[in-house]
A and B are shown apart, each in its own frame.
Chain A
Amino acid sequence: MTQVSLTVNGSPVTREVEPRLLLVDFLRDTLGLTGTNIACDTSQCGACTIHMDGMAVKSCTVLAVQADGSTLTTIEGLATNGVLNPMQQAFWDQHGLQCGFCTPGMIMAATKLVENNPHITEAEIRHGLEGNMCRCTGYQNIVNAVAQVAAGKGG
């Protein structure tokens, strides 16, 4: 077992973990943060996307021990003081979801996308979300949701 100390959604966390434990399993099973989902097991689908030190990462591709000392934000930590992040609100407003299983990862990826490129075009949104799979919506309303946020932010 190895000790890891990190900050998750603003709170310091220290735990003993097996070196082979994936970060996503650490979040879901050790910390009980089940909003981050696992769908493909092989880093294709992006359902497990979180923010790690300011970057969107697929948490099934990171070991928990690699996150030692990091600052993480998961879907549970995106709203501030009960107010939804504009991307969360936009996914809800625009029906950017059906079953909701890809939604947390999709929102985490999309927030960074717009943060890094406030005047993002629709083509850039589509390119940027290629690593996040959705089996239900056909993506159109997801793209609309991200565009809503970009329009609000980028004027």
Chain B
Amino acid sequence: MPIQHIKVLRNGTDEEELKVVETTGLPTWDADTKFTVVGRPQSRLEGLEKVTGRARYSYDVRLSGQLYAAVLRSPYPHARIRHIDTTKAEQLPGVHAILSSANAPDDITWYEEKSKLFDKTLRFIGDEVAAVAAESEEFAQDALRLIEVAYEPLPFVIEVEAALQPDAPRVHDKGNRVDEPTIYERGNAAAGLREADVVIEQTYTTQTAVHNSLEPHGCTAFWEGDQLTLWESTQGIFETREQVAEKLGLPEHHVRVVKEHMGGGFGSKQVPWKQTVIAALLSKQSGHPVQLMLDREAENLAAGNRNATVQRVRLGAKRDGTLTAILADIQVVVGAYMVGGEASEVNGMYERLYRCPNVRTEQIGVYINAGPCVAFRAPGHVEAAFALEAAMDELARALQLDPLTLRNRNYSEIDQKKEKPLSMPNALQVCYERATAAFGWQTYQRPAPTGPKRRGIGIAAHEWGGSGQPPAYAWIKLNGDGTVDVVTGTQDIGTGARTGLAQVAAEVLGLPIEQISVHLGDTAKGPYSPTSAGSSTQASVGPAVFAAAVEAKRQLLEVAAKLLEEEPERLEIRDGVVMVEGEPENKLTVAEVTGRLAPHMIIGQGARGPNAKDKTIRTFGAQCVEVEVDVETGEITVLRVVAAHDCGRIINPTMVDSQVFGGITQGVGFALTEERIVDEKRGLVLNANLEEYKIPTVADIPQMTNVPVNLPDLAANPTGVKGIGEPPLVPTAPAIANAVFDAIGVRLRHAPLSRRQLLAALATQAESIDKSAPPHTQEGQS
């Protein structure tokens, strides 16, 4: 793929940045394109491996002489290591290597705060103290128990409010504020509030949630000479390679990162963590391959979480519902360190979702002595939606407007931050219409209460990125027998990337999908592709595969034209056969063409081109929820969720449904049960396991409906695809909270909506519940 332009951007006097713009003049799949493979519910290419147990995850790697590693972690939320002695552990039979602050390289630092790999100051329970590699997991655990550590406990802080007090214990020397606040303002928010007829002012909080991917973080590390191979459970093989090479002072081509399959990530595996480099060093020290997988407790303590937030929200509106001001003061709890993968823009949705001339947001990050946060599926947006979408519901009630009417009245068709048009200005409108129609929002008849049970409905909306972007690269190789290898350095993190990419290649090449193999997840075998984060894999890598396939097809048709004595322009490929337009008998199979060419081969290279510059590309969605609340027990049961999400063109409808169902399910967990609980007095995480950290089981799941939206967005890329991985989680929790209010007239502003919170709120607000006039009315609906 030729580089067509290079722009040199100069910042100041001595910094230069090369901006590489790859454009291809590709055809596009417009809305009228007829498809044979795309848009169909193709079953997963890797499904056979997964249903037979053959799919190999990082911790399934078994190498000759392989050792197992375990990590000793800080039992204190804040402490200094006075003395550490690993002598007894070293003498244990079966132990091959030990690392701690006593012998680890001093120049490897971690996190933005430059903590050492094994730092003598420990800032959260779970912080790494030492690591052992031994012949079995059990020996490694035995060895950990023999390491003697003298800790000096230090004052610590767990609560965000306490952390912001002037005399609070300091997590870092610089204090507990990560940085200066990030402030955004357009118009005059204070004036906007003054001109409002109605003002809503409330504080909402969201909890620390833990990703709890079923496969923990970890890797298997192995050296051959000075070449390091890592089988890493990661969302970004190239990001991992780059960072590990930098930490260990290796050239990048001496580090190979492989990830065939991974058991979930949800953002927590989008950055490499300490254990990867620890495994590499233990392997070097011992001369053996080393596998280091976190256990479930460590996964909960030290491998990332969704930042808790405190959000003070003020909304001002005219009597007719027109917003005059949106203000949000946001505190984001980052834990003890910044890992560099947070990207938690809680402020963003306040600035974008609704049309409003006067907006002000202020966001600060706050350190506490607990495990660091990292991006968790739609970071920032899940937290913001819980507050903003509840506040909008409160505003609708105050104005006696239907919540949908209020949202439509403040519909934004442009990107107000950049003052640019949206690529799909009506996308959210379509989501509203389809979700509410399928749900029966307008016609909802509340069933009469049965005993203590009350029904209610709620709605919430969201916006998110997911456009994808350059760079991403792919190669397509046509084999002599007409089969195809698609090669790219992306990774399938469980979403089905292999299948989605194969569908794109099959469609362009006119081949049945059975003739396509996709090779990914190995830095040594494929060209660069970005980390799978931001709902961007299909939208970033898909267009690169598309471009490579277009190029391979061009070459194929050129060869076929010679063989058929025709012009390439008159040829087309259908179901593996190259045909001459209007001459059905004049044809060759693709395999006949490539067979004649073999052993010469056709290789198409493709690069992801740029997004449109004159438009802002976003994704949108809306969900409607019905709940049943038991006013005696405080139990909230989510009965049904109807979702409509704009993700551009749908390549595989079943995989999109699956993302939506999975997202809603995590949303139900976030709304009702998931919360890391920390004992304030001792700083202990009380539920660092899957017994007491409650992820939803099949018994907690409502009836779920995904209404397809399928609006190809050609501003994003020639395939018209945008992401769906993260968005479906965003509106679920606020829609549930709004439905709870609709059912019982009590507003819960703190996630998760615990029974205790609900019963306490019912007790204090009991007198305001008017059972004869339920708060949801049919009036004023648009």
Instruction: Tell me the minimal C-beta distance from B775 to chain A in angstroms.
Output: 30
Contact status A97-B697, CB under 8 Å = no
**Distance to closest chain A CB from B312 (angstroms):** 32
- Most chain B CB inside 10 Å of its own CB: which residue of A28, A75, A133, A139: A139
* Neighbouring B residues of A149 by C-beta, 8 Å: none
Asked if B46 and A100 sit within 8 Å, CB to CB, the answer is yes
Q: A84 at interface (Cβ–Cβ under 8 A)? A: yes
- Is A34 within 8 A of B695, CB to CB? no
Contact: A140 with B704, CB < 8 Å? yes
Determine whether B214 belongs to the interface, using a CB cutoff of 8 Å to chain A: yes
A138→B658 contact, CB < 8 A: yes
Distance to closest chain B CB from A118 (angstroms): 20
B658 touches A98 (CB 8 A): yes
- Within the complex, the shortest CB–CB distance from A63 to chain B, in Å, comes to 12
Query: Which of chain A's residues has its CB closest to B689's CB?
Result: A42
A84→B567 CA distance, assembly (Å): 47
Interface residues as binary, B215-240 with A (CB distance below 8 Å gives 1, 0 otherwise): 11000000000000000000000000
Whether B138 lies near A136 (C-beta < 8 A) is no
Given contact pairs A100-B49, A141-B658, enumerate 17 new A-B contacts (beta carbons under 8 Å): A29-B136, A39-B296, A39-B690, A40-B689, A42-B691, A44-B691, A75-B52, A92-B51, A95-B655, A97-B44, A97-B51, A104-B53, A130-B698, A132-B698, A133-B690, A138-B704, A141-B661
Q: Does A134 contact B (CB under 8 A)?
A: yes
In this assembly, does A37 line the interface, its C-beta being within 8 Å of a C-beta of chain B? yes
B704 touching A135 by the CB < 8 A rule? no
Tell me if B529 counts as interface (CB < 8 A to partner A). Answer: no
**B214–A37 touching, CB < 8 Å:** yes
User: In the assembled complex, which residues on chain A have CB atoms less than 8 Å from the CB atom of B717?
Assistant: none
Determine which of A18, A34, A127 lies in contact with B56 in the assembled complex, contact meaning CB atoms within 8 Å.
A34
A39-B296, A41-B296 known; A135+B50 contact, CB < 8 A: no
Per the 8 Å Cβ criterion, residues 66-112 of A in contact with B are 74-76, 78-79, 84, 88-89, 91-93, 95, 97-104, 107
Q: A92-B51, A93-B43 are in contact. Are A40 and B296 (CB under 8 A)?
A: yes
A130–B697 CA distance with the chains assembled, in angstroms? 6
Chain B residues within 8 Å of chain A by Cβ, number: 58
Chain A residues with CB under 8 A of B496: 98
Report yes or no: B52 in contact with A84, Cβ–Cβ below 8 A.
yes
Q: Which 9 A-B pairs have the closest CB atoms?
A: A35-B53, A99-B494, A101-B263, A138-B661, A100-B50, A75-B53, A138-B665, A34-B60, A92-B47
Q: With CB as the reference atom, state the residue of chain A lying closest to B62.
A: A32
B495 an interface residue at 8 Å Cβ cutoff?
Answer: yes
Contacts of A127 in B (CB 8 A): 699
A28 to B137, alpha carbons, bound, how many Å?
12
Residues of A within 8 A of B62 (CB): 32, 34
Contacts of B662 in A (CB 8 A): 98, 135-138
**Is there an interface contact between B494 and A103, defined as CB atoms closer than 8 Å?**
no
Which of B53, B137, B661, B689 contacts A76 (CB under 8 A)? B53
**A135 pairs with B212, CB closer than 8 A:** yes
Question: C-beta contact mask, B62-77 vs A, less than 8 Å → 1, else 0?
Answer: 1000000000000000
A76 and B52 contact, CB distance less than 8 A: yes
Q: Which of B678-727 contact A (CB under 8 A)?
A: 689-691, 695, 697-699, 701, 704
Query: B-side interface residues toward A, CB under 8 Å?
Result: 41, 43-44, 46-57, 59-60, 62, 136-138, 212-216, 261-264, 266, 295-297, 493-496, 654-655, 657-658, 660-666, 689-691, 695, 697-699, 701, 704
8 Å CB contact of A140 from B212, B666, B691, B701 = B701
In the complex, which residues of chain A have a beta carbon less than 8 angstroms from the beta carbon of B214? 37, 39, 45, 47, 99, 101-102, 133-135
Report how many residues on chain A are interfacial, defined by Cβ distance under 8 Å: 57
Chain B contacts of A133 at CB under 8 A? 214, 690, 695, 697
CB of A142 within 8 Å of the partner chain = yes
Do A100 and B296 touch across chains, with their CB atoms under 8 A apart? no
Q: How far is the CB of B551 from chain A (nearest CB, A)?
A: 31
Q: Which residues of B contact A107 (CB under 8 A)?
A: 51
User: A9: shortest Cβ distance to chain B, in Å?
Assistant: 11
| A74-B654 in contact (CB<8A) | no
Determine whether the beta carbon of A74 is less than 8 Å from that of B53.
yes
Chain B: which residue is nearest A98 at the CB level? B494
Cα A102 to Cα B50 with chains together (Å): 9
- In the bound assembly, the distance between CA atoms of A52 and B48 in angstroms comes to 24
**Chain B positions within 8 Å of A59 at CB level:** none
CB of A57 within 8 Å of the partner chain: no
Contact B297 A92 (CB under 8 A): no
CA distance A136 to B704 in the complex (A): 15
Contacts of A89 in B (CB 8 A): 51
**Chain A contacts of B212 at CB under 8 A?**
135
A95/B689 in contact, CB under 8 A: no
**B residues in contact with A99, CB < 8 Å:** 213-215, 261-264, 493-494
Chain A residues whose CB sits within 8 angstroms of the CB of B43 once the complex forms: 92-93, 95
Task: Give min CB distance, B93 to chain A, whole Å.
Answer: 13
- B658, B660, B701, B704: residue with the most chain A Cβ atoms closer than 10 Å: B658
- Specify the chain A residue showing the minimal Cβ separation from B46: A100
Does A153 make an interface contact (CB < 8 A)? no
A45 and B690 contact, Cβ closer than 8 Å, known pairs A129-B698, A140-B701: yes
Interface centre among A39, A102, A131 (most CB of B within 10 A): A39
**How far, in Å, is A60 (CB) from chain B's closest CB?**
11
Distance in Å: Cβ of A90 to nearest Cβ of chain B: 9
Cross-interface CB contact of B51 among A20, A47, A103, A126, cutoff 8 Å: A103
Whether A143 sits at the interface, judged by CB under 8 Å, is: yes
Query: Which chain B residue has the least Cβ–Cβ distance from A76?
Result: B53
Do B44 and A92 have beta carbons less than 8 Å apart? yes
Contact partner of B658 (CB less than 8 A), chosen from A35, A91, A92, A137, is A137
Q: A40-B689, A41-B295, A97-B47 are in contact. Are A139 and B54 (CB under 8 A)?
A: no
Q: List 5 A-B contacts (CB under 8 A).
A: A20-B138, A97-B47, A103-B50, A134-B698, A141-B658
Residues from chain B with Cβ under 8 Å of A84 in the complex: 48, 51-52
Give B261's nearest chain A residue, CB to CB: A100
Q: In the complex, are the beta carbons of A39 and B661 less than 8 A apart?
A: no
Q: Mark A22-58, 1 if CB is under 8 A from B, else 0.
A: 0001001100111111011110110100000000000
CB-based contact A37/B215 at 8 Å:
yes
Specify the chain B residue showing the minimal Cβ separation from A30. Answer: B136
Q: A40-B690, A84-B51 are in contact. Are A95 and B44 (CB under 8 A)?
A: yes
User: How many whole Å from A102's CB to the nearest CB in chain B?
Assistant: 6
Q: Which A residue sits closest to B48, measured CB to CB?
A: A92
> A120: CB under 8 A from chain B?
no
Q: Once bound together, how far apart are the Cα atoms of A103 and B261, in whole Å?
A: 13
Most buried by A among B48, B261, B264, B663: B264
Q: Name the B residues within 8 Å of A91 (CB-CB).
A: 47, 50-51
Q: Does A21 contact B (CB under 8 A)?
A: yes
Bound Cα distance A84, B701 (Å): 29
A92 to B47, CA, bound (A): 5
